[in-house]
Amino acid sequence: MIRIEDIKKQFGDQEVLKGISTVFEKGKTNLIIGKSGAGKTVMLKILVGLIQPTSGIVWYGDTNFSALNTKQRKAIRTEMGMLFQGSALFDSMSVEENVRFPLDMFTNLTKKEKEIKVDKTLERVELTGSNNKYPSEVSGGMQKRVGIARAIILDPKYLFCDEPNSGLDPTTSMKIDELIRNITAENQITTVINTHDMNSVMEIGDNINLVHLGELAWVGTRHEVMTNKNELLQDFIFASPFLQRLRDAANLNKNA
């Protein structure tokens, strides 16, 4: 479980986060949603310590992560995996080398053991047969899969995903969401996902945090999204005229 307490972040005189407190639960896909520029990436990077909050505390279980020094943070970091918005694969390494990198860097496994682990993980993200290709030679969806494989190969307790389906077509997008949800449930990971994708919200929103103008505007589950009357939530979810018409049609049917 990760808990954040009154997190504030200011860049110059721009207040990006204005005191956010919430909980990200274990074994669930916890979502941070909000419009572009709402501060989702900043919030995720504060969670993993890539950005220092102006004030506030990030708790990993009972550990005050914000009070740790670099060395102490490393201990928690070996339990983290992160999928970046652009996948952030290492260009000079093949798919296999990218996925194996954390093993090479941090474990004493033999070559054979690593091979087995890499193959198993690539299979888990449904990506076999591309081992020797380079990141620039595979599609965006495949890059995300490689990124997920690299993030989960050390069996992390915490998984962070920054817009896992940005730049993907709807079908691929759904598959990536499904993959993250299943891995989260199977391994009982605390997963935090940034997204502004409607589909993701409805499909994998176990615990949804809507961020608006630097504040937490709504918290709930995907089951509550349709019926909740929160205006900011409704504005966000039904942003497109198409979805508004669907909603209105559904309401007409209900009332008839």
Partner 1 sequence: MFSRPEKLSMYWKETTRQMIDIGIGSLVIIGLVSVFIGAVTAIQFAYQLGSSSIPKYYIGYIVRDIMIIELAPTFTCLALAGKVGSNIAAELGGMRQKEQIDALEVMGVDTTAYLVLPKIIAALTVIPMLVVLSAFMGMAGGYTACTVGGLVSEAEFMQGLRAFFDPYNIWMMEIKAFVFAFLLTSISCYQGFFVTGGSIELGRASTSAVVISNILILLADYVLALILT
Ligand X SMILES: Nc1ncnc2c1ncn2[C@@H]1O[C@H](COP(=O)(O)OP(=O)(O)O)[C@@H](O)[C@H]1O
Q: Which residues are at the interface with Mg ion (CB under 5 A)?
A: 41
Closest to ligand X by CB, 23 or 51: 51
Cβ of residue 200: shortest distance to partner 1, in angstroms?
Answer: 20
Cβ of residue 16: shortest distance to ligand X, in angstroms?
Answer: 4
Q: Are 20 and 215 in contact (CB under 8 A)?
A: yes
Determine the interface stretch with ligand X among 32-40, 113-121, 199-207, 233-241 (rule: CB under 6 A): 32-40
Question: Is 40 a residue that touches ligand X (CB under 6 A)?
Answer: yes
Closest to partner 1 by CB, 76 or 219: 76
Please give the Cα distance from 247 to 163 (Å, whole number). Answer: 25
Signed CA dihedral, 227, 233, 235, 237: sign only: negative
**Around Cβ 202, how many Cβ atoms within 10 Å?**
14
**Around Cβ 221, how many Cβ atoms within 10 Å?**
13
* Size of interface with ligand X, in residues (CB under 6 A): 10
Question: Is 191 a residue that touches ligand X (CB under 6 A)?
Answer: no
Please give the Cα distance from 194 to 13 (Å, whole number). Answer: 24
Cβ of residue 137: shortest distance to ligand X, in angstroms?
Answer: 28
Question: Is 36 a residue that touches ligand X (CB under 6 A)?
Answer: yes
38 contacts which partner out of ligand X, Mg ion, partner 1, none, CB within 5 to 8 A by kind? ligand X
CA 1 to chain centroid, in Å, comes to 15
User: Which pair of structure tokens corresponds to residue 71?
Assistant: 């060395």
Question: Is 38 a residue that touches ligand X (CB under 6 A)?
Answer: yes
